[in-house]
Structure 1
């Protein structure tokens, strides 16, 4: 084999190798993770002279229930103009935790401003040591999706049901029960816009839940 042929074959092999490398698939894009944000970062206002507020009772906050479709971390949307019954997931946008857990964290934080809030295990400890149980707040997350009214307009839709119960010797007594639904417009018709709308709607739901509990 002469030198010219060797050089030609070597060049062809290098070209094929480079072409093969260029054909390799790109590294999969990493999904963006979202939550409800850091919460209020504004300094607390100075307390004004006023009568002492009434003492609010201790409350037990159960885990927030959700159907199996909302148990995961997918960011879900509905195309109301096409098929509102179909829940669709974004491919590259996810929650850092299931929405029910994010909602419970915010709710516990908000309730703690006026109540001593206990989890299920803490509530059981109080029952053993003090012989009584605090009232229990149970919340079910029923809807948590970005709803597209058109291709360019969407809202964050959050719907929950809440039940406040009291433990009695004969079983739990329902003290109050109510459903809450909040819609907030999305600033952009995409996943990040849906996150902002759902986070804003969740904050309103939490505020309404706390006001309702405090009024009982």
Structure 2
């Protein structure tokens, strides 16, 4: 009888352990546990300091390196190995960061009174703004100190003729050393670069 009771307890314990393991595995792989971030809502009262009126412009899709062409949120441990971008395991963007930035750019330029047309619409009479993203990540200078870092190169073309080109680099300190702090800092850096781009576009000489 004692042996039978022991066997029952052993089997019951094993079943409980197996059930707990399956539950933990299900929680770990549950897609609902992933935190999603974007650049936040467009503020109705936010204005661009372009000064001069914004020109009508055609905006092409932003080109990004393959490691940025996904929903992954990347960070670098500058104090350990700044050559290695690392993705957060439980935090992602709602879409690739280049797409988030492009949507933000178009919305804010339109909000400021500019005329924005997708390059795919083929408006041949408008200059084309082409942007290449070099960086869109969170950098950690120490375990508790980080910043949102963006680097983008913007070029304005008249057909195939390059009219102007400028590099935009922005670094904004994060208020917390985690994915949320990085998202907030990158949103602020995006808005700052968009404002600088608007000023640049407004001061470009007209098409000859």
TM-score by length of 2: 0.84
- Per-residue displacement from partner, 1:176-211 (whole Å, max 9, x unpaired)? 110011110010111111111111111101111111
CA distance in structure 1 between the partners assigned to 2:139 and 2:13 by the alignment: 50
Partner of 1:91: 89
CA distance in structure 1 between the partners assigned to 2:156 and 2:150 by the alignment: 20
Do 1:71 and 1:99's aligned partners in 2 also have CA atoms closer than 8 Å? yes
Q: Which has the bigger relative contact order, CA under 8 A and spacing at least 6?
A: 2
SS at the partner of 2:189?
helix
Do 1:93 and 1:191's aligned partners in 2 also have CA atoms closer than 8 Å? yes
Do 1:79 and 1:149's aligned partners in 2 also have CA atoms closer than 8 Å? yes
Do 1:110 and 1:210's aligned partners in 2 also have CA atoms closer than 8 Å? no
Partner of 2:154: 162
Partner of 1:114: 113
CA distance in structure 1 between the partners assigned to 2:97 and 2:52 by the alignment: 33
Aligned counterpart in structure 2 of residue 66 of structure 1, from 64, 73, 90: 64
- Aligned-CA RMSD value: 2.3
CA distance in structure 2 between the partners assigned to 1:203 and 1:43 by the alignment: 10
Aligned pair in 2 of structure 1 residues 6, 34: CA closer, same or farther (>3 Å)? same
Aligned pair in 2 of structure 1 residues 179, 96: CA closer, same or farther (>3 Å)? same
- Per-residue displacement from partner, 1:19-66 (whole Å, max 9, x unpaired)? 33233351225211100001214499xxxxxxxx97643210000111
Partner of 2:176: 188
How many residues are matched? Answer: 195
Q: If you compute each CA radius of gyration, which structure gives the higher value, 1 or 2?
A: 1
Unmatched runs of 5 consecutive residues or more in structure 1: 45-52, 128-132
Partner of 2:143: 151
Which has the larger displacement, 8-17 or 158-167? Answer: 8-17
Partner of 2:35: 32
TM-score by length of 1: 0.81
- Per-residue displacement from partner, 1:64-83 (whole Å, max 9, x unpaired)? 11111110111111111111
Unmatched runs of 5 consecutive residues or more in structure 2: none
Do 2:54 and 2:201's aligned partners in 1 also have CA atoms closer than 8 Å? no
